[in-house]
Amino acid sequence: MLSRNSVNILKRLQVRLQSTLVIAEHNNATLTPITRSSITAAKKIGNDVTVLVAGTKCSEVASSVAKLDGVKRVLVAENEAFNGFLAEAITPLVLAAQKQFNFSHIIAGASAQGKSIVPRIASKLDVSPISEVIAIKDKDTFVRTIYAGNAVLTLKSLDAVKVLTVRGTNFEATGDASAAAVVENAPAGEFKTDLAAFVGQELAKSDRPELTAAKCIVSGGRGLKSGENFKILYDLADKLGGAVGASRAAVDAGYVSNDLEIGQTGKIVAPDLYIAVGISGAIQHLAGMKDSKTIVAINKDPEAPIFQVADLGLVADLFKAVPELTEKI
């Protein structure tokens, strides 16, 4: 017969064993939208949700995370070692938190940062990382795309700890909470690393919305024929308050920089409106945009595969059609 005390300890252990850690992404000032989506994914698992905020001066971000719906606790770690958010420094912090709290699930967004941290954590915990999750069926069963988005795989993980990246475009952003969650210090430790050093970063400055957060994207392909010709897309995007994206062919040809690339090796987007201009619709491009709510294609070739996924198609010369469209808006 177990004493009441032992029962309570067992109950607490049970709660611990079924809890989820979300690794927040931010720039020490504002939270990246994918974290709100990751929290929604965590809520779907059904456990208590803890969010880890690691940075150099990130206490304000931690306070804002505490006010998000579904968050039970925020662990905050401020340390110069997290300058540049190097995966080599953040991984031991996550492992220290895991050692203390014994989470059953660890989630990060499927962003460059999440994709860098999660495999390291999974390998240290000796479990399989589950990447680019697009839906959560239950605490063990996850849906993800494979073969550049051409097949959907539902997998059941038998690992003791599930370590996932989730696609931001497939989970709504969590809303604000009525009451703030507890904010406490993450486990302390020596997180300075000799494996990598943060030298600096140059961020592209733009008045236009960021691609992965834009509600409207005007995207150009090889059909634009030059970087200068992208101006007609910028004019249209400005009228629509949208962002400009590109196919890999347009990036490889040097028409635009590679941070505009959409697709399997570029960004995954799902805006309300995606206008594909002079893009043929190769599977690798579709992998990055086919979840867009409304897809419009402008292409002079009526057989172009992009028309198979388009809600609205215009068979026309883009150099005539796009300026006309911009003028009429």
Ligand X SMILES: Cc1cc2nc3c(=O)[nH]c(=O)nc-3n(C[C@H](O)[C@H](O)[C@H](O)COP(=O)(O)OP(=O)(O)OC[C@H]3O[C@@H](n4cnc5c(N)ncnc54)[C@H](O)[C@@H]3O)c2cc1C
- Residue 185, Cβ density class (10 Å: 0-12 exposed, 13-18 middle, ≥19 buried): exposed
* Binding test (CB under 6 A) with ligand X, winner from 299, 307, 325, 326: 299
179 is in an annotated binding site: no
248 is in an annotated binding site: yes
Q: Of the two residues 129 and 263, which places its CB atom closer to ligand X in the complex?
A: 263
* Binding test (CB under 6 A) with ligand X, winner from 18, 116, 284, 323: 284
* Binding test (CB under 6 A) with ligand X, winner from 282, 309, 314, 323: 282
Q: Of the two residues 71 and 304, which places its CB atom closer to ligand X in the complex?
A: 304
189 is in an annotated binding site: no
* Binding test (CB under 6 A) with ligand X, winner from 263, 292, 297, 326: 263
Give the interface segment with ligand X, choosing from 79-87, 166-174, 179-187, 282-290 (CB under 6 A). Answer: 282-290
Q: Of the two residues 70 and 288, which places its CB atom closer to ligand X in the complex?
A: 288
285 is in an annotated binding site: yes
Tell whether residue 270 is a contact of ligand X (CB under 6 A). no
The site map against ligand X for 243-262 (x = CB under 6 A) is ----xxxx----------xx
Report in angstroms how near the CB of residue 108 gets to ligand X at its nearest.
Answer: 21
Q: Kindly determine how many residues on this chain lie close enough to bind ligand X according to the rule CB under 6 A.
A: 27
Tell whether residue 300 is a contact of ligand X (CB under 6 A). yes
Q: Which residues bind ligand X (CB under 6 A)?
A: 221-223, 247-250, 261-266, 278-280, 282, 284-285, 288, 299-301, 304, 317-319
